Structure 1
Amino acid sequence: MEENNLPQETQDNNRIIEINIEEQMKTAYIDYSMSVIVGRALPDVRDGFKPVHRRILFAMNELGVNSNKPHKKSARIVGEVLGKYHPHGDSSVYDAMVRMAQDWNMRYTMVDGQGNFGSQDGDEPAAMRYTEVRLKKIGESMLDDIEKDTVDFQLNFDDSLQEPTVLPTRIPQLLVNGSSGIAVGMATNILPHNLTEVIEGCVAYIDNREITAEELCKYVKAPDFPTGGIIWGMEGVKQGLLTGRGRVVLRGKLHVETKPSGREQIIITEVPYQVNRDSLCDRVGQLVTDKTIEGIAHINNESNQKEGTRIVIDLKRDAVANIVINQLYKFTELQTSYGINNVALVKGRPKILNIRDMISEFIEFRHEVVVRRAEYELKEARKKAHILQGYLIALDHLDEVIAMIRNSPSPDVARDNLVNAGWGLDEIQAKAILELRLQRLTGMERDKIREEFDQLLKIIAGLEELLGNEGLRFDLIKKELEEVKEKFGDERKTEITYLADEMNILDFIAEEDVVITISHLGYIKRTSATEYRQQKRGGRGAIGGRTREEDYIEHLFVASTHHTLLFFTEKGRCFWLKVYEIPEGEKNSKGRAIQNLMQLPPDDKVRAIIDIAKLQDKEFVNSHYIVLCTKKGVIKKTLLEEFSRPRQNGVNAITVVEGDQLLEARLTNGSMEIMMAVKSGRAIRFPEEKVRPTGRGAIGVSGIEVDDENDEVIGMVCVSKEDKTRTILVVSEKGFGKRTPLTDESGEDVYRITNRGGKGVKTMSVTDKTGSLVGILDVTEKQDLMITCKSGITIRTAVADIREAGRATQGVKLIRLDESDAIAAITAIDEIEEAELVEDEVSTDAAEVSSETPTAEPNAGEENSGDTTEQEENSSND
């Protein structure tokens, strides 16, 4: 018996499969969790819905419960959804549908409810047999074009019907109404936003596909809750928009009223999102009983469906309203925080999304819907046009067609006869002709068929063009979004309040012109421009910055406190600094080391500065250029947009070869004329177009020939071709200067236009008396000239006081210098009305000079040191 049983036992053992319990539990739990994540708890990024909401709207649409039809019993809708698409509990379907009708839960309700749908005080809605619903117009917009093969369909739970995997929404539903849910191992909490703001963000994304999340925050500012309230602080909100995770602090809205008796009342008109008003009143009453809050005599919830929220808190006679309000915010739900956790399904997988991700995914989906809709409409239009073409052929051979049909024994034979008649008809057209009603054969109906066919050909051409042009498709998406905004958009309900440390610093900084000075050893400061008094030409000047003995002011210019400065160093690096970030100092103070304000390497120094007013303006930065030049005559042009994204450690602006240094940087509009001058007195003029734009890391091209080892470029100016008011001002190191027009009275060019890379022409007669050329500027007579010496003395004089002269002259004495002193820098600034005009040429200004600065003897021969004679000018060589 035992032997007979062995084979049976062996057979039974073979039917048992041993498995690892850990692996089995892991696999089963992962399957369960993915089912919950995908099928129940998380919304789809495209239409923003979980399956239950999608199925409710689809079932209502299938039943025809539209906004222009009568309401239907909620139980009828719930039964439809349960029986056809969603085999779960009826309460889950009814609760989801009720929420879509509650205007205190949904920012934009999708369902129009009739009956008792609950209240903000926590009242439960009536049973589904009592309430009625229908779709709202905005809910219908979620389903527009669903019949045009715009989305994929799948089989329902029993494979008997088809249901959509996603709705072809025109509404950015995920952002607009938000979503919350707890899955397995993850959760989501997406807050509602304003439809107008979200659509403006979508349009901005369509216009610029490279737009950043930070730039989109200008359009989608913050969540917008259906119950209003005040967002208290934006730091957490900004984190949520930029990263997908953050925190929003929301306060209720209230104000203080005084009763005729003199007592004060706190009236709460808006409570935070999803806060139960009755529970809030109970909590306040409990805190008063516990004596946590003192000063409240009575609280009453006077809210109703028609008037909205009104909670009245009566205060005691000696109570201070502000103290009570702060206690209410601290101890009750009148101030509530919400976590932002933007998790949604992207291509079936859960993903954390920032504002840009959500908008880009919606636009990508919308583009797919537009393409599929166009393909469907094109296919249908071609089908219809094909049949109409058959009608037109039949009408052209009407008598033969009638005779052929009448003589045919059966419809099938008639169809075959039509196909074989040689008129080019196929079976589909022949069948349509046989089904044609006799009334369509009248003259008027024939004209209608012809007109309809022509119209269809236009539609087909338009659809083919749409499918072949991505730009047209995105224009259509934008147009449809604008229509949605026009139809359903509204104002924000939730106010935004910035905390003290989040306010825009520019709001607290008066916009004014300031003088920026940078010394040779790298000390920087800003000073109000009104501290520099205007003086006559030839004055002694005033101390512009007290520096160490071996130091002197090297850069001096005027900028607005709201602007951004671009600093270019001699090694070709670019750094950014806001003007208001530069420390303020007295006119004669040293300033602060520039290394303390930006990450400037110790072996590098600032050589050029550009003042930019509109660094964030896309149109401006894409239409302007930075032109750079070096001491060895190299010139380079780069689009300003490449310098519009500040980095803490700077960026490379130009590759400077060994032995060379970056000298100057200028802002241009792309069609200016460039002039470069060298120390020996030569200058070259050529069109900006001769320098092609290159990237930040490029080396550049030759601008002017520098053949002498001791010679070097001392400056560069960029002048507009149309601006005839500007003259070229040159200054030598011993204080001589003059202005020369670009064209003379006869219209001839004083500085002839040449190609870049040449030697140029003489711009100043350089002698031992004048010293080498130190600066070149393009100026107008409305400007002032600031001259800074190596000793630290600064003088400000009107440009109009400097006479015009030929380009080969020496010029006039602009400033009297000590023998050991020399001019270090010159800059032109616009006149400032507040500047004090000093009439006395020497005596008043002499008092401004510091006692530490040695006083030079006045130059008695100033009248002899002026312009060269006409004879000298004519004999000088170009």
Structure 2
Amino acid sequence: MENQENLNNENPSNRGKIIPVNIEEQMKTSYIDYSMSVIVGRALPDVRDGFKPVHRRVLFAMNELSMTFNKPYKKSARVVGEVLGKYHPHGDASVYDTMVRMAQDWAMRYTLIDGQGNFGSQDGDPPAAMRYTEVRMQRIAEAMLADIEKETVDFQLNFDDSLQEPTVLPTRIPQLLVNGSSGIAVGMATNMMPHNLGEVVDGCIAYIQNKEITIEELTGFVKGPDFPTGGIIYGFEGIRSALHTGRGRVVLRGKTNIETDSKGKEKIVITEVPYQVNRDTLTQKIGDLINEKLIDGVTDVNNESNNKEGTRIVVELRRDAVAQVVINQLYKLTELQTSYGINNVALVKGRPRILNLKDLIVEFIEFRHEVVVRRTQYELRKAKERAHILEGYIIALDNLDAVIALIRNSSTPAIAQDGLMTQFGMSEIQAKAVLELRLQRLTGMEIDKIREEHAEILKLIAHLEEILNNEGMRYQIITDELIEVKAKFADERKTEITYLDDEIRMLDLIEEEDVVVTISHLGYIKRTSADEYRQQRRGGRGSKGSTTRNEDFIEHLFVASTHHTLLIFTEKGRCYWLNVYQIPEADKTGKGRAIQNVIQLPPDDKVRAIIDIKNLEDEEYVKNNYIVLCTKKGIIKKTALEDFSRPRQTGVNAINVLEGDQLLEAKLTNGNCEIMLAVKSGRAIRFPEEKVRPTGRGAIGVAGIEVDDEKDEVVGMVCVTKEDNIRTVLVVSEKGYGKRTPVDEYRITNRGGKGVKTINVTDKTGSLVGLLDVSEKEDLMITCVSGITIRMSVASISEQGRATQGVKLIRVDEGDEIAAITKMDEKEEEEPTEEGEAPEQQQNETENNETPGVE
């Protein structure tokens, strides 16, 4: 400091030119200036149009070059040069990279640039150099520049003060919400996810109609992010946080399908990967995990993706592998499941702010309102200027001879102009316009056009003034333009949202309806709307109920609501839980999906019984109900439903099954029922439920019916209440014979006995295959091994004694037999069978009502 003072004293001319400053203050000031320059001029988008300066400049330059969607393409290098030379004095790579991204349909939810040539790929391939590619604007980008010539936005000088550039684009598209944005500034960053245009427009219109709308109500319109590459958002809580606060975390999963080839070998096909995930990198990662044996059950992985068919990454499985287990491993160990941090930071009036969903919509609508006002003011000014000129024309036309004489007698245009202004009261503008008027406008037809145009202009002026004086009209214009945008550019959601169990009741999102659930012998499960199965008369031919392989047939068929939960019991005595809505949906003839891909069922186990539970969360219900299980060897066991009320993904032991035995059936009871068991040879037993005391899940059980013959086994179990007198017992044999018998015809005995005859088994009827408790208000659905299914009214099946063989319920082809029977509520009127097949009811009644001997 002393040296500085001496220098100033020695040379007085240096005084005032060198100012000593504190270096800490200088660094602080310089750093703040730098950071604000990066924040405002580079890294953060403007909340109004959703663009950073480089995006805005690229689109503005293309607009100035008239590169609209219906014009020829131009070289990318031409556009880059225009942007660099006029508006964006930075590296050409930054501008070209911006253009490339705006043309990539896997990077932008709605692309703004139409690119021709190699613009890279989702596999990480780089784009071609800008001298090879060509571009023009997409139609949606033009909607972002509409009315820019009508003084709707402010302009500023470019970097060398030689040109004007817009500070913001007058976009009709809520670009920031629709395409999102990401950027790293100094001391802050932004990471905004893309959303569906149709949903965002609906949210904007909802806000216009109700300015007090809550964020929760807005989420009914804007469901959450919608990524260009699709995928499945796993969990809603992160989305909810982002929509409410501007910060959150989204977990995104790729979409997978399980395919089975002609040899029965399964493979996992990844059809959608998470946003910004490189497909080649993902494939390489899966291959590395296979080599390191961190993923078990996979033999090969290959990226078969292409531009025509889209994403297809095939993961080949070993025959003993469980596909769902492998998928869970892929989610855990690879980018097939990826998380994104949401940080909605944008510039609001030049200052960075964290914005929630409503903030973003409010800022956009306020900006659109400003654009509409400024556009209307511009159009009004132009209309008034035109009206002023037309009024000058009309004055001249009304005094045409005098005006012509004045002009002919004037030596110069200036004198003629002064004369018009003095004699006819015209303004300077009007006088100039009259002097420039072409002689052809003086014809009669042209004179009428001038008067018509003046009348139209006056109407337009009145309309524009009404808009400026009526806020409701302005918001209606905004609404109409948004509706037009939605009609032109909106599409369906690409990304699904899956709610976690602890976040929301999934049942609130599922339409409740009855569905027919089928499980085949080889373990394929599906659900089909019950309305697809129409009713037929007894003795009909039936219709094709499922397409199965030759060695497969429908083994379980029952009706359940989509809001219910299934308890699935296997032959080894395990219990699994499955929500009905989670069962893959297929049409009546569809094959379904392997059940091992729906629940974690081991390959050597098999489904034997299913119980439909309305609500496992109802404590009173689960405490007062029981599960009764029986095995093929006649063992029976009762366990409280409460023991099965806490679902586990891997299942639990329901009964300890002895070697050589298998679980056959499971029923839900209220503790006050009567149990009936029937065996293949045609015997049945009836005893009170109290005879079976409740035991834990791991117990073995007690004897229910005596099974002596090694070839004999239990084929069915029913549980009826003591008070239910209208129900009857239905038995069906493997050759399609059946009958109903009143419950009271079966005397009550102790459990463990031989029972009494329930059907007369002959070669004609075949062995007993099923036992149901039914009422006349229900329908019966019968499925054969071949897949043929028939639905008939229970009331059409006659009641007969225990020892009869019954009537023919369905015509069974040679070599075919009954595979499953189930009951369902009657909903349809009876109608004839298809293809003109008469039910031949009278013949069946005569032929089949045989009553051979009694017990």
State the TM-score, normalizing by the size of structure 2: 0.59
CA contact (8 A) 2:232 2:498 kept: yes
| Equivalent position of 2:713 in the other structure | none
Q: Does 1:471 align with 2:472?
A: yes
Q: Is 1:501 matched with 2:502? A: yes
Match of 2:391 among 365, 389, 392: 389
Q: Among residues 184, 193, 198, which one is paired with 2:200 in the alignment?
A: 198
Structure 1 residues 13, 159: closer, same or farther in 2, change over 3 A? closer
Distance in 1 (CA, whole Å) between partners of 2:278 and 2:241 is: 28
Q: Does 1:156 align with 2:158?
A: yes
How far did 1:5 drift?
A: 9.5
Compared CA separation, residues 248 and 9, structure 1 to 2 (3 A) = same
1:75-94 mapped onto 2 (5 Å cutoff): 75-94=77-96
From 257, 260, 264, the equivalent of 2:259 is 257
CA distance in 2, matches of 1:298, 1:425: 88
* AA partner of residue 266 (structure 2): E
Q: Distance in 1 between matches of 2:510 and 2:71?
A: 59
> Equivalent residue for 2:450?
449
Instruction: Summarize deviations over 1:40-60 as a string: whole Å, max 9, x none.
Output: 000000000000000000000
**What is the CA deviation profile of residues 71-130 of structure 1, one whole-angstrom value per residue up to 9, with x for unaligned ones?**
000000000000000000000000001100000000000000000000000000000000
Does 1:485 pair with 2:486? yes
CA–CA distance in 2 between the matches of 1:510 and 1:99? 40
Distance apart, 1:262 and its partner CA? 1.8
Alpha-carbon distance between aligned partners in 1 of 2:487 and 2:28, rounded to the nearest angstrom: 51
Match of 2:328 in 1: 326
Aligned pair 1:109/2:114, yes or no?
A: no
**Hey, what does 1:708 align to over in structure 2?**
none
Question: Offset at 1:509?
Answer: 12
Instruction: Kindly provide the CA deviation profile for residues 299-351 of structure 1, in whole angstroms up to 9, marking residues without a partner as x.
Output: 11111111111111111122111111000000000000000000000000000
2:189 & 2:292 partners in 1: Cα distance?
A: 36
8 Å Cα contact 2:256/2:271 also seen in 1 = yes
- Deviation of 1:295 after TM superposition, in Å, equals 1.0
Residue from 234, 246, 249 that aligns with 1:247: 249
Deviation, 1:214, is 1.3
One-letter amino acid matched to 1:198: V
Contact 2:147 2:170 in 1 (8 A): yes
Q: Distance in 1 between matches of 2:62 and 2:346?
A: 25
C-alpha displacement at 1:16, in angstroms?
Answer: 4.4
Could you say which residue in structure 1 is the equivalent of 2:362?
360
2-structure distance, mates of 1:349, 1:126: 37
Q: Deviations for 1:715-742, whole angstroms, at most 9, x for unmatched residues?
A: xxxxxxxxxxxxxxxxxxxxxxxxxxxx
CA 1:409–1:461 in 2, change beyond 3 Å: closer, same or farther?
Answer: same
2:48 equivalent to 1:59: no
Contact map agreement 2:108 2:228 (CA 8 A) in 1? yes
Per the alignment, do residues 173 and 5 of structure 1 end up closer, same or farther by CA in structure 2, a change over 3 Å counting?
closer
Which residue is equivalent to 1:432?
Answer: 433
CA distance in structure 2 between the partners assigned to 1:455 and 1:434 by the alignment? 24
Q: TM-score, normalising length from structure 1?
A: 0.57
- 1:419-443 CA-to-partner distances (Å, cap 9, x unmatched) read 111x331111110001001110011
| Aligned amino acid, residue 379 of structure 2 | E
What does residue 668 of structure 2 align with? none
The structure 2 residue matched to 1:119, chosen from 109, 116, 121, is 121
Whole-angstrom CA distance in 1 between matches of 2:263 and 2:94: 52
How far apart, in 2, do the equivalents of 1:125 and 1:159 lie? 34
SS in 2 for 1:501: coil
Change (3 A) 1:388 1:311: same
Shift of 1:503: 2.3
User: What amino acid is aligned across from residue 391 of structure 2 in structure 1?
Assistant: Q
| Counterparts of 2:54 and 2:496, CA distance in 1 | 32
Q: Quick one: distance in 1 between partners of 2:342 and 2:482?
A: 26
Task: State the secondary structure of the residue aligned to 2:502.
Answer: helix
Give the aligned partner of residue 142 of structure 1: 144
Give the Cα separation in 1 of the matches to 2:278 and 2:344. Answer: 25
Deviations 1:488-528, CA, capped at 9 Å, x for gaps = 011100011111112237739999xxxxxxxxxxxxxxxxx
Equivalent residue, structure 2, for 1:698: none
Q: Aligned pairs, how many?
A: 517
Instruction: Pick one of 184, 187, 196 that aligns with 1:185.
Output: 187
The answer to whether the aligner puts 1:210 opposite 2:212 as a matched pair is yes
What is the Cα deviation at residue 12 of structure 1? 5.8
Structure 2 contact 499–506 (Cα < 8 Å) conserved? no
Residue deviations 1:388-416 (CA, integer Å, cap 9, x gap): 11111111111111111111101111111
Q: How many angstroms apart in 1 are the aligned matches of 2:35 and 2:310?
A: 41
Q: Which segment drifts farther, 312-321 or 470-479?
A: 312-321
Query: How far apart, CA to CA, are the structure 1 residues paired with 2:285 and 2:15?
Result: 66
Counterpart of 1:40 in structure 2 is: 42
2:468 touches 2:474 (CA, 8 Å); kept in 1?
yes
Q: How much has 1:264 moved relative to structure 2?
A: 0.7
Is the aligned partner of 1:461 residue 2:471? no
The residue type equivalent to 1:492 in the other structure is R
C-alpha contact (below 8 Å) 2:215/2:243 kept by paired residues: yes
Residues 349 and 509 of structure 1, relative CA distance in 2, 3 Å threshold: closer
Deviates more, 1:113-122 or 1:12-21: 12-21
> Using the alignment, how far apart are the partners of 2:511 and 2:387 within structure 1?
68
Partner of 2:291: 289
Question: Closer, same or farther in 2 for the Cα pair 1:466/1:96, shift >3 Å?
Answer: same
Q: Structure 1 pair 197/510, CA: closer, same or farther in 2 (3 Å)?
A: closer
Report the secondary structure of 1:250's partner residue. strand
Among candidates 409, 412, 417, match of residue 410 of structure 1? 412
Matched-pair contact (CA < 8 Å) for 2:8–2:15: no
Of 94, 97, 104, the match for 1:95: 97
Other structure's SS at 1:142 match = helix
Q: Which residue of 1 aligns with 2:374?
A: 372
| Equivalent residue number for residue 516 of structure 2 | none
Shift of 1:10: 7.6
| Aligned pairs for 1:795-874 within 5 A | none
- Aligned partners of 1:14, 1:453: CA distance in 2, in Å? 66
Q: Report if aligned partners of 2:254, 2:337 keep a CA contact under 8 Å in 1.
A: yes
Q: What's 1:812 paired with?
A: none
Q: Of 295, 308, 311, which aligns to 1:309?
A: 311
CA positional deviation for 1:9: 6.3
How do 1:301-700 and structure 2 match up within 5 A? 301-421=303-423, 423-504=424-505, 507=508
* Residue aligned with 2:418, SS: helix
Residue identity matched to 1:233: G
| 1:8 Cα offset (Å) | 1.1
> How many Å separate the matches in 2 of 1:583 and 1:53?
56
Aligned-partner Cα distance in 2 for 1:465–1:510: 47
Hey, what's the Cα distance between the residues in 2 that align with 1:170 and 1:14? 54
Deviation at 1:18, TM superposition (A): 2.7
Separation in 2 of the partners of 1:504 and 1:465? Answer: 49
4+ residue runs of structure 1 moved beyond 4 angstroms? Answer: 4-7, 9-16, 508-511, 582-586
| Closer, same or farther: CA 438–500 of 1 in aligned 2, 3 Å | same
- Helix, strand or coil for the counterpart of 1:300? strand
